[in-house]
Amino acid sequence: MFNKKTAVITGAGGTLCSEISKELYKCGANVVLVGRTKEKLDRVADEIKREGGNVLVYPCDVTDKEGVKGLAEEVKRVFGGCDFLINGAGGNNVKAMPTITEFDEREIKGDLPDGQRGLFDIDTDAFKSVLDINIMGTVLPTMEFAKQMVERGGGSVVNFASMNSYCPLTRCFAYAMSKAAIVNLTQSFGAYFAPANIRVNAVAPGFMVNERSKTYLGTVEDGLTERGKKVISHTPMKRFGEASDLLGCVKWLLSDGAAFVTGVTVPVDGGFLTLGGV
């Protein structure tokens, strides 16, 4: 299924998509690693190259239309085109987030304690940047690589949604808004591209272990922050996810095993969405 096929992975320098990249290589695919930081991509590429894999590193800002166009041209030149696209690039920005979880009338008067920030004090440019990376950073690569998939008779796209897609976490206004849009976008693009034999689906990771999560949530083994305790109490499996927990779902959505599946978002969340919190 994956042998000699070409997979383009955006956000490939990150914890989750680096593991997806390595797994697709192990399944025989050519992999194209895309991200903004070349050093991170090179570290992933070095692991793949040591095993003799075909890998292309391409630093690119996926919100830059011309940059994405150049990426697509290079993929076509090197590998003949794209069969699989994983839209893993995305993120949040603390400047787009208040530090408080609900309205406090002191924020209107500018009387919040030092270091605290209400909704009215967030950086709206940062807010826009979160929408841009998560939404347009998915739209632009999909539009470019869908052209190549049409030429190749079909293909498969996997987008990245979130637990925020279903119910926004406190303080994450821009991130939740953008990840809710990914679910809708996955449905509408799934319907649109179906006649071209291009399937568009998404995964919605639960709370996954990475360096950022250790800072904000802590770890089950070494101790949890208050926010981390709330997450674990809401997760029936009583742990955070690992990158490896995503691999089976992503490979299934890309494969012919999901040939009649398009427009869906699959939670990989340890049961987080099964609990109502009461």
- Please tell me the distance from the alpha carbon of residue 254 to that of residue 200, in angstroms, as a whole number: 9
In the residue annotation, 166 being an active-site residue is answered as no
- Please tell me the distance from the alpha carbon of residue 234 to that of residue 271, in angstroms, as a whole number: 8
Return all residues near 3 (Cβ < 8 A) that are at least 6 apart: 27, 28, 29
Q: What number of other Cβ atoms are within 10 A of residue 195's Cβ?
A: 8
- Please tell me the distance from the alpha carbon of residue 88 to that of residue 19, in angstroms, as a whole number: 11
Return all residues near 268 (Cβ < 8 A) that are at least 6 apart: 203, 204, 205, 206, 241, 245, 246, 249
- Please tell me the distance from the alpha carbon of residue 195 to that of residue 202, in angstroms, as a whole number: 19
Q: Give just the sign of the alpha carbon dihedral 244, 174, 12, 145.
A: positive
| Burial class (CB within 10 angstroms; exposed 0-12, middle 13-18, buried 19+) of 197 | middle
> Which one of 25, 58, 175, 192 is the catalytic residue?
175
Helix (H, G, I), strand (E, B) or coil at 173: helix
Active site residues: 175
